[in-house]
Amino acid sequence: MPELPEVETTRRGIAPHVEGRRVAELVVREPRLRWPVDPELPTHLAGTTLGPVDRRAKYLLLPAGEAGTLILHLGMSGSLRVIDAAEPPAAHDHLDLVLDDGHALRLRDPRRFGAALWQPAGTTHPRLAGLGPEPLGPDFDGDYLYRASRGRRAAVKAFLMDNQVVVGVGNIYATEALFRAGIDPRRAAGRVGRERYRRLAEAVRAVLAEAIEAGGTTLRDFTRSDGAPGYFRIRLAAYGRAGEPCPSCGRALVTSQVGQRATVRCPACQT
């Protein structure tokens, strides 16, 4: 599944091509996405001018003038490409946002777990309500994590992946950040001290920033908006490396279950 760096990479890739453009039409070929596409969505968007593309968690926000905001989610296998609007659609090309310059923003989503949602002006969509702070924003730091974790019995990795705590820290980057911070992902969140949370927050920021700079992690289904893959995967220290030597101490990395998901850790470096 595309994680925050992949979504941010997509945002940066499409922004120069769509910002300031007028929407000629929205073509919906397959409305049965994760949530059914509102049949009024083409009407909401037609004739509007798109503003600066933003991101909230793993959602892309395309402001459409005074009418509202188009919210896009890539799901597990989705990608967005800027293409010639006359290019014939392939299988799984479910939606085209056709622009006034002859280009289109095309959503391809083989598994149909993505979404195209509408947020009327002056409202907050329910999918965005109740989200925690952005991990690269000013409200996220170790002191915040320490306060939020008090009394929490859940494993610290599950805590870190809770979107009500902090958004966009998925499985890959939680694994990497906990490795860098030297914290056992199985440890109860409420039993991690303030200084260790400060190291963890710094590690989260660093690993996400590096991944964004590298263009996102290459997974099975994700490509950047220009078609080129991300390259962060070659720098992963723990994720997907069970049985390999720890890059810090040389001991074999092991797999544990945290919240019904496998996680890789070093039994010596992470305590």
Report residue 97 as tokens.
Answer: 């946002």
Beta bridge partners, 59, equal 56, 73
Cα distance between residue 194 and residue 142, in whole Å: 7
Query: What confidence score (pLDDT) does residue 140 get?
Result: 98
Q: List per-residue pLDDT tens for the chain, 271 residues long.
A: 678 998 999 999 999 999 999 999 999 999 999 999 999 999 999 999 999 999 999 999 999 999 999 999 999 889 999 999 999 999 999 999 999 999 999 999 999 999 999 999 999 999 999 999 999 999 999 999 999 999 999 999 999 999 999 999 999 999 999 999 999 999 999 999 999 999 999 999 999 999 998 876 655 555 566 666 665 665 899 999 999 999 999 999 999 999 888 999 999 999 9
Query: What confidence score (pLDDT) does residue 235 get?
Result: 81
Query: What confidence score (pLDDT) does residue 105 get?
Result: 96
The contacts of residue 126 (CB under 8 Å, 6+ apart) are: none
Domain boundaries, the chain: 4-120, 142-235
Please say whether the beta carbons of 25 and 98 come within 8 A. yes
Sort 86 into a burial class: Cβ within 10 Å, 0-12 / 13-18 / 19+.
exposed
| Amino acid making up residue 133 | P
Task: Please provide the CATH number assigned to the domain covering 4-120.
Answer: 3.20.190.10
Active-site pick, 21, 186, 261, 267: 261
Active-site pick, 3, 6, 8, 176: 3
Query: What confidence score (pLDDT) does residue 261 get?
Result: 87
Active-site residue 261, yes or no?
A: yes
Active-site residue 147, yes or no?
A: no
This prediction has a pTM of 0.90
- Under DSSP, the state recorded for 232 is G
Query: What confidence score (pLDDT) does residue 225 get?
Result: 66
Domain 142-235 falls in which CATH fold? Helicase, Ruva Protein; domain 3 (1.10.8)
Active-site residue 2, yes or no?
A: yes
Cα distance between residue 263 and residue 219, in whole Å: 17
Active-site residue 127, yes or no?
A: no
Residue with token string 């929205």 = 26
Query: What confidence score (pLDDT) does residue 226 get?
Result: 66
Active-site pick, 56, 58, 106, 224: 58
Query: What confidence score (pLDDT) does residue 91 get?
Result: 94
